[in-house]
Structure 1
Amino acid sequence: MQHVNSYYAASANQHAPWPQLTDDIRCDVCVVGGGYTGLSTALFLVEAGFDVVLLEASRIGYGASGRNGGQIVNSYSRDIGVIESRYGQDTARMLGSMMFEGGDIIRSRIEQYQIDCDFRPGGIFAALNKRQLEELSAQKADWERYGHQDLELLDAGQVREEIDTQAYEGALLDHRGGHIHPLNLALGEAEAIRKLGGRIFEQSAAVDIKHGDPATVVTEKGRVEASFVVLAGNAYLGNLEPKLAAKAMPCGSQVITTEPLSEAQASRLLPNNYCVEDCNYLLDYFRLSGDRRLIYGGGVVYGAREPEDIERLVRPKLLNTFPQLKGVKIDYRWSGNFLLTLSRLPQFGRLEPNVYYMQGYSGHGVTCTHLAGRLLSEVLKGQAERFDAFARLPHLPFFGGRRFQVPFSAMGAAYYSLRDKLGV
């Protein structure tokens, strides 16, 4: 399989494909999945001197890592106040100490390996009503308690200076946020792995795992024998490990990209080139690309079904935010899957003493995947405390099992969407 017909694929940096695995090979660690989780894990491990093989079923960054909104959003899909109330102060302190680490890792990777991915600093959480603005104020206080001081609360007038729309009551500006070309970040990380001696194979889907010490990962045309295996397929893992498939649900998100805007248009829409996401349960998000296109995404399709007309779903959202763009041409439209958990917190753990998994970022994967790679590398170097802070979280099944997870989730989303519209 090749990359979907997205703006990111069309504007990707020049790169040669990696080979398909056609032999039986041996390594220290076999990583299954060529998205951010797998790439971050492999890069941290090769930096530490491990012999790493990474297997990707299609192309590097084929899934959510090469299709997402490109926003560096700190924290988790559940914020720290919820974590404190549900899981206690000790867990909250551990997870809170890592909330902003993923973004720092991305910035350091870009600088260290000179990755050309259109990085721009600054991200905005935009409130559509007074309730959401009050929640942003509480979020600011919570994040400051955990050491993040680069935040500004904006009133309605100030947010209009940053976003040329009447849609928002206010916003929270996170100077440690930002945005990137996500596929180019993935390709740059893969190239760094290659330069450090890691082996990457594309078009090499894992079809079976034979547990043992060592474990063996079987592909269509080859086998990898490894001391450790890391499962990092996330929403695209399929049924390789049914135990993992039962714990989370793939969901689709849709993105459209306009034709290039004039410099004057772009500078009016987003004068400081910040990325933006709103505070609704089913949120919308947007930013400018490096060539001044507006990239706008929103909506969720539960169960990862492909919508028939992505532009029809997303264009009204774009025009509701920016009515001045009526008539703008849409050049690209695509969807991609992320993996939702019932708790909306990521799931890290072990299937066997030497088989690890990391999945279920619930829409906050860009930063948390990069943290996940560091934590897994710590485990294999003998320090599991931070990984286990996540592994101890309960991995709850969806109500009604796999058969009813989609309708029940859609019902819950409809409830919260109604609350968003009513502002309660």
Structure 2
Amino acid sequence: MAVGDVTMPHMHVVQGVKIGSAEAYVRYPNRRDLVIFEFSKGTNVAGVFTQNAFCAAPVHVSKLHLQQANPRYLVINTGNANAGTGKLGMQNAQFTCLKLAELAQVEEFEVLPFSTGVIGEQLPIERLTQGLQPALDSLSESAWHDAATGIMTTDTTPKGASEQFELDGITYTMTGISKGAGMIRPNMATMLSFVATDAPIARPLVQTMLKISADQSFNRITVDGDTSTNDSCIFAATGCAGGAEIQSINDPRYAVVLDVLCRVMKRLAQLIIRDGEGATKFITVAVEGGNDTQECCDIAYSIAHSPLVKTAIFASDPNWGRILAAIGYAGVKDLDVEKIQVWLDDVQICKDGGAAADYIEEAGARVMSQTEMTIRVDLGRGTAKDTVYTCDLSYDYVKINADYRS
């Protein structure tokens, strides 16, 4: 059961984007598991991908095709990750692109493939490719909710975010979907995300904006500390709503669009944490007072990844010594523990490296019993800060992953 409000908002149509889906029986019958995005000609597209050295075949193919041209189509299947599948896996990813390209009458390199699901099993390529034409036949501008459902694996709810904004009297849209619930850890977090806008943005800036936004969103979440083989995030700018193209970061419109993109992607990333496998609590880990953002992130991740911290929070047990231990083994050099302050929401549990004099366990337990809470750490050594989002670790996490392939 997801934590907090995870309701899909009204998904505004993005001019120049159509989406179709089909039931291809990639793994399970009677469910939408194949999704196609169609972009209008002239759409500028960027991508960021998993840092896992064992990345999946579709990741290799997508990265290669992105270097060759702007894609016109994306094809996403669930139920099978096509990872750890060797040469045949690469051939299947390429064949998927080839078949869709033939049907859509575009070049093979104008198609990007994406897969998510079980690792180490070959794609049922005949069933997958038979689903391509039905998905194309269903293309619609208003199918964002269907697409969000169609890319789910262990997710319990579809995930979407959408905003409209105005530039120089023109109304633009930013809409996106994501999936992910387990094997979530930067860089990137097992997740797929697809975001599009009808604002006109030059291709180099599309990539720049995506990288900045990903670092503030999908690269700031963790469920279980495992980095997936298939993580991919795509940002497309169709330009179909009109207006002059944004070609420089000095254009005042650039900052406006970047701000909207960051909000949309942060919402999509936080939805993944709220729907983390077995999650019962949403946790913000905010670290400030660092020499630089890297050491703030190192400590935030150390806390957020700790199974001892996460299980204590699941049990509403204010065993705050586990938080201090995670800070201490984060690997930050020359850390003066006597300057460290730690809070659970508004309750200070650690002052100058030791127990706060007025701390009482009942106050800590009160915070940890909430469905949403913040662990705030002040390192007392600088002005840098950063934030990571995570969830607790429950019995259900083990059950979900023990039964995943059944």
TM-score, normalized by the shorter chain, greater than 0.5: no
Structure number with greater Rg is 2
Bigger relative contact order (CA 8 A; separation at least 6)? 1
